[in-house]
Structure 1
Amino acid sequence: TFTGWVFVKMMKVLVCVIALWGAAGGARSCGESRRVYGEKHELNTAPHTHISGEHLRLCPRDYTCCSSLMEDTLARQSEADFLSAVQDTSQFLLTTFTQRHRKFDEFFRELMDVAEKSMNQMFTQTYGHLYTQNAPIFQQLFSDLRRYYTGQVSLAEVLSDFWAGLVERVFALVNPQYQFSEDYLECVSKHAEQLRPFGDVPHKLHIQVTYYYMRVCFSLYNQDKEKCLTVGSECVRALMRQWFCPLCRGLPSLKPCHSLCLNVMKGCLANQADLDSEWNNFIDVLMVVVEKLGGPFHFELAADSIAVKVSEGIMYMQENSITISAKVFQGCGIPRPTPARNKRSSRERDGKRAFRTYSAEEKPTTASGTNLDRLLQERLRPMRGFWVALPHTICNDERKAADVTNEDRCWNGQTPGRYLPSVTADGLVNQINNPEMEVDIARPDVKTRQLIMELRVAVNRLKHAQSGRDADLIDSECLRAFILVSVFSERNNVKIKNPAHSKTTLCQHVCRFASAIRMLIMLIIKYS
């Protein structure tokens, strides 16, 4: 009947109205949120439509597409994504120090080989068989210098042993009319510091070699125990709220507002931002060193001059042999005369000749064909301001936050819309005004404060090296700050480890690289 037909039509309309009302109310679909969530996680607990959000702990308690288990899972993912973002952002630090150390190490070892070869050829031509008879002492010098480079011996001991052995041999050569017992030559060595038989050359060489090497001293860390970057509960809450609460609201593609992202990152990285001042001082000092390497204190010329400096010491003793011998005889007694012997050949008598320098073909560059100063300059400058810029770098990633110009179509932490709070300033103290999390500014991170102090120690050591002051480092005083700051790139987990059981990590590369810079300065300073 007509009445029945009207009734059916009305029921259909009513069903449509109810369906539309449900879609507009609490029964909206969670299909898009399920799709995004399912790309990384199981969908067992993911609702198909919006449910009441009374169970939520981190996101707004509105109708939601997230169960309690989903919220916990997404909170863990937000922490992992944050650490990954820090790692990705600091990747250039990892790349720089591992590659630069490897290239520097190749450069250094090749340069030492050429320097030793140059000395051998020069002294063979200059001193003839007198050098070849005493060649082991010079070979031992370069062997010990290589050991010093790897931190196995003290530089003071290396050079002291070299000059002590050399003074015995040269003293015997300039006094061929006498016989010298081992006890007598030991007496000569004991008087060497007072007599200064080589003038100030040993002191200069000590400074120069210290500049050249920068003793490799490294504290070793791995990635299992302590966290260099600790993600606190307040940080996790803020990370979850900005990155995944939109998903729980059924808006997984909505990015957090740029200013919201900055406040969250500045709160999570508050302690690390306080590293920036001392970090910049460290980079500035390294830049000064690099400028010296490219200027009058040329690295390769310094290595080339080792043989010249040693020869200058020998020449000084030859030229002052009468005065030196008289003082030795006064302190150690008159030695026994030696039987008659042939005169030295003209080559041995002539002494110092014109010393050749490296040819262009012999001069080592690096594996990439560039000189050391050019190798370093392009890499250091971008590292200034790294820690203060880190929040901006992360938030400028379109995957992490909305564009700064998109102020209305973004997630403000509660709903879609403009983010109104101001962006807080950098550093721990300024987080008292951070609207996104509570940061205890009265309790700075102990490890970060330690790193700040150690960066200051590193800067002072480099400045001392520039002024020509040597300091043999010990393991406990290594530049751990530089290591720890740089090792953020390695998943931000750091653990002190027994060196005997350690693998080569970024820590070693960075510390070797930084320490080598310091040592080479002291070789170069007197070669201008």
Structure 2
Amino acid sequence: MCPQGPTCCTITMEENLASLSAQETEGLIREAGRSLQASFNSLHRSFDTYFTELHGRSERSLQEVLSSLGPLYSQNTRLFAELYTDLRQYYRGSALNLDENLSDFWSRLLERTFKASAPTDVTLSEDYFECVAKQQETLRPFGDIPRDMKTKVIRSFVTARSFVQGLLVSADVVKKVSQVSLAEECTKALMKLIYCPHCRGLASVKPCSNYCSNVMKGCLANQADLDPVWQELIDTMIQVASSFSTEPSLDVVLSSIPVRIYQAVHYLQENMDTFTAKVFQICGTPGEPGTGSPTTHEQKKKSGSLTALDHKPSPTAGLRLEIQVSELSSKLREMRQYWVQLPVALCSKVAAGSNSQDNCWNGITKSRYLPGVMGDGLANQINNPEVDLDITKPIMKIRQQIMQLKIMNNRLKDALEGNDVDFQDASEDISGSGSGMCLSGQCARSRPGLYAYAPETNPVGGAAIVYISVCNLPLLLPFTILLLQR
């Protein structure tokens, strides 16, 4: 492995030193990877703690804000608690369709509010309540509040969940890529770089920096191919982090949920007579003639009317969010060029300084290193004088991680549009909602990075994930034959 000439190393010693150089370099790569993983995990803990506190504070304010609803709140605390449970589970990655869950909450709240306002001597059947619920879209009993709140809550929770998934996926990719073993060609090059000077009696002479760069760029060529999609993912994550402070900001959306519910009930009670009259026209008048008339509702409304409530967020909440976004963005930018800077970082530990470039180990003797430095990535190593790589044979484990980064990047971009790709159906005409709808309402989820490997998403139409079942294979055969003929 070492240049021919006087040497104090036997063939066996060279083989042992070559193995040692590979182990030491792999150890440095894993050490750098662990440091980056720790940074991602720190960001995840920081944001998760912040978001969980926001969610908990909003839930704790329920009783304070909604207690004035009287029995409508005290007798339906489970309904409101389940809303927050669903939101929490969705953020944690549960297979919930947030759009449907929020719609179901407002339907159930309408039923309870309508029931509370009805005369006590009238029994309303399940079928009647179902008819009332169906009028929600056309009659809009809560005004525009449900639609407005749904849009903002979905946007906030989709971006928050996608962001934490992005942090976890990035850390997982770093872990897996950092554990990839070095190729045999790289082992020989590292031996020549690090220990051949010892065999020539030049143990104190460090490798030339450009020489080291070529060796490390060759050894880490596949890893450097992560760079374009890695930088794009980091940029998208910074965009998502910045979106948290876009009006309405993340903290305002979460803290205002109880107030928006209160305002919706207040709106319905103020307009209960009009709504009830329209429901009676469509669903029929329940009970005996005359019961449940507008006059009865008017009396009830006056006896238990509500006062409109304005939401006033904490004065320090905005400052804390601003600090959170700033820290996230700053630390993410520091990670942006990790894969192309990794060879430089490794060489800083083994190569000579800039003042010793005429008296450094150049792979043959103590002298200046003349060849130029190769570019980054596998394709640029075709003429690498130090590492003989077959650029047509990329490392598949690393290619799989590149695909994972692309998938996560697509999810984050969809999150910026308020779309949850995990719920996007393959058929655009079936899915009429921006957040995506599943036919059964229970959509299969493949959480990236820590979970099952998912196929790459289709960026068209909200980045729908298309799953091909066995029953569709006969339809694909003619198309496949046509492609093979071409």
TM-score bucket of the superposed structures, by smaller chain: 0.7 to 0.9
Contact persistence 1:276–1:387 (CA under 8 A): yes
1:387 is the counterpart of 2:343: no
Q: 1:77-226 residue pairs with structure 2 within 5 A?
A: 77-125=20-68, 127-154=69-96, 155-176=98-119, 178-214=122-158, 215=161
Alignment partners' CA distance in 2, 1:258 and 1:438: 19
Tell me: CA distance 1:223–1:115, structure 2 relative to 1, closer, same or farther (3 Å): closer
Alignment partners' CA distance in 1, 2:219 and 2:177: 17
Q: Which amino acid aligns with 1:349?
A: S
- Paired residue for 1:272? 223
Alignment partners' CA distance in 1, 2:93 and 2:197: 54
- Paired residue for 1:237? 188
- Paired residue for 1:247? 198
Tell me: CA distance 1:134–1:351, structure 2 relative to 1, closer, same or farther (3 Å): farther
- Deviation digits for residues 26-79 of structure 1, max 9, x if unmatched? xxxxxxxxxxxxxxxxxxxxxxxxxxxxxxxx2224332223332222222211
- Paired residue for 1:466? 416
* Root mean square deviation, CA, Å: 3.4
Alignment partners' CA distance in 2, 1:67 and 1:497: 48
Query: Which deviates more from structure 2 when the two are superposed, residues 229-238 or residues 158-167?
Result: 158-167
So what's the TM-score if we normalise by structure 2?
0.76
Alignment partners' CA distance in 1, 2:298 and 2:103: 33
Contact persistence 2:72–2:112 (CA under 8 A): no
- Paired residue for 2:463? none
How many Å apart are 1:203 and its aligned residue?
3.6
Query: Which deviates more from structure 2 when the two are superposed, residues 283-292 or residues 113-122?
Result: 283-292
Q: 1:50-89 residue pairs with structure 2 within 5 A?
A: 58-89=1-32
Contact persistence 1:78–1:243 (CA under 8 A): yes
- Paired residue for 2:483? none
Q: Which amino acid aligns with 1:279?
A: W
Q: 1:420-499 residue pairs with structure 2 within 5 A?
A: 420-472=370-422, 477-480=446-449
Q: Which amino acid aligns with 2:103?
A: S
Larger radius of gyration: 1
SS of structure 2 residue aligned to 1:405 = helix
- Paired residue for 1:24? none
- Paired residue for 1:488? none
How many Å apart are 1:359 and its aligned residue?
6.4
Contact persistence 2:259–2:309 (CA under 8 A): no
Alignment partners' CA distance in 1, 2:255 and 2:303: 23
Identity of aligned residues (%): 40
Tell me: CA distance 1:467–1:225, structure 2 relative to 1, closer, same or farther (3 Å): closer
Task: Tell me: higher relative CO, structure 1 or 2? Use CA pairs within 8 A at least 6 residues apart.
Answer: 1
- Deviation digits for residues 152-189 of structure 1, max 9, x if unmatched? 34023432331221121122234447532233213323
Tell me: CA distance 1:455–1:255, structure 2 relative to 1, closer, same or farther (3 Å): same
Alignment partners' CA distance in 1, 2:142 and 2:298: 27
SS of structure 2 residue aligned to 1:237 = helix
Tell me: CA distance 1:456–1:315, structure 2 relative to 1, closer, same or farther (3 Å): farther
Q: Which amino acid aligns with 1:325?
A: T
SS of structure 2 residue aligned to 1:433 = coil
How many Å apart are 1:314 and its aligned residue?
2.7
Show structure 2 runs of 5+ residues with no match. 424-442, 454-486
Contact persistence 2:422–2:446 (CA under 8 A): no
Alignment partners' CA distance in 2, 1:467 and 1:387: 29
Alignment partners' CA distance in 2, 1:276 and 1:261: 20
How many Å apart are 1:351 and its aligned residue?
4.0
How many Å apart are 1:379 and its aligned residue?
0.7
How many Å apart are 1:237 and its aligned residue?
0.9
